[in-house]
Structures are given as structure tokens and as C-alpha cells.
Structure 1
Amino acid sequence: MKMTLKAMLATLLLCMSLGLSSGVLAQAVAPINVNTADVELLEELPGIGPSRADAIIEERETNGAFESAEDLERVSGIGPATVDRMREQVSVE
């Protein structure tokens, strides 16, 4: 089946516009506030599953709010590498 030049250009234009719009959508997502988020929302952070999400909530209830992304290292199992992976997606305000 031959594809005409016009059809190929239309397909290319569609693929490019979809690719650009998905990047714009990704940038529009607000960071997750680790001082107010529930378990389900915390699980959206990279490296955070149900047990670590529970641990984040327990830590903030026991020892107070997180003042920076680095404060997440107070939670057992969260180290500097995990904080670096999620830094852009975390808010404390």
C-alpha cells in the first residue's frame, strides 16, 4: 500500500503535535505536598509504594511537618537517591 506524500506529512504532523502536547501536560502537573497528601497520592512519587507512603504519613504525624524534600530522609528506606528522583515532584508547602 503506497502512502502519498500528503498522507505521510499529515501523519508526521499528528505525531509531532501529540508528542508536544503530552510534554505540556506533564509540565502542568502540580508537585505533591508531602505534608498533606494521602497514601494514594504519595504512591505516585517515584520509589514510593504503599508501605513507604504509610511511613511518610506516620513520620510527619509523629515528628512534625517536612520542611524540605531532604527531610524525607527521616523516613526509613528513603535515602538521598530516592529524594533526588522525586525532588521536582515534591512540595512541602
Structure 2
Amino acid sequence: MKNLLTLLIISFLGFSALTYANPVVDKPMAEMQQPPVININSADSEMLSTLPGIGKKKAQAIVDYRAENGEFTELSDLANVKGIGKKLVAKLEGKVSL
């Protein structure tokens, strides 16, 4: 009985130490690390392909469009790139900069 009580106390102490030792639990969601914002006017195709909905082909299309037409002046200009529509542009809001 004494061994069982000792085991329960040790288990409780170990569990509570694990619960309170995690610093991520104490941080608000806003303070958690956010993915970096990617500049669509300077990023290479590899960096652009990390964006949601942008694969290697679309990333290269962005780079090619930028080379032919100059820098993007508005986020909505991305919709002029072949394979990128308004819905995808909306998904990228907050994830890209100019």
C-alpha cells in the first residue's frame, strides 16, 4: 500500500512537471513563430514554390512574368500570371509582400 501511494505521488509530480515545463503552452497564438512573408518582386522560384498553391511551374511563371513585365505593383497583379487566379491570390494575402 505504501509503495502504491509513493508511486502515485511520483507519477503525479512527474506529470505536473511535464505539463508546466513546456514554454509553448504559455505563449499566446500570436507570439508563436509565423512563416516568413515572401517578397514576390525579389524571391527566386525556389522560394516562391514554398507558398501555398504555388508549385515549381507556377513559381517559374511568376519569375518569367516579372522578367518580362517588371515588378508587381499590386498583389492583384499576380492574377495576370498564367495559372494563377483571383482565388489563389486571395490565399496568398498576408503571406507575400511587394
TM-score (norm 1): 0.79
Q: Which has the larger radius of gyration?
A: 2
Partner residue, 1:12: 19
Give matches, 1:5-44, under 5 Å: 5-15=12-22, 17-18=23-24, 20=27, 24-26=32-34, 29-44=35-50
Q: What are the Cα deviations for residues 14-64 of structure 1, in whole angstroms up to 9, with x where unaligned? A: 44x2354995222xx431110110011001111001100000001111111
Q: Which runs of 5+ in 2 are unaligned?
A: 1-6
Large movers: runs of 4+ above 6 Å: none
Give matches, 1:50-69, under 5 Å: 50-69=56-75
Find 2:87's aligned residue among 60, 77, 81: 81
Distance in structure 2 (CA, Å) of the matches to 1:41 and 1:21: 28
Distance in structure 2 (CA, Å) of the matches to 1:38 and 1:61: 11
Distance in structure 1 (CA, Å) of the matches to 2:70 and 2:90: 22
The farther-off stretch of 66-75 and 5-14 is: 5-14
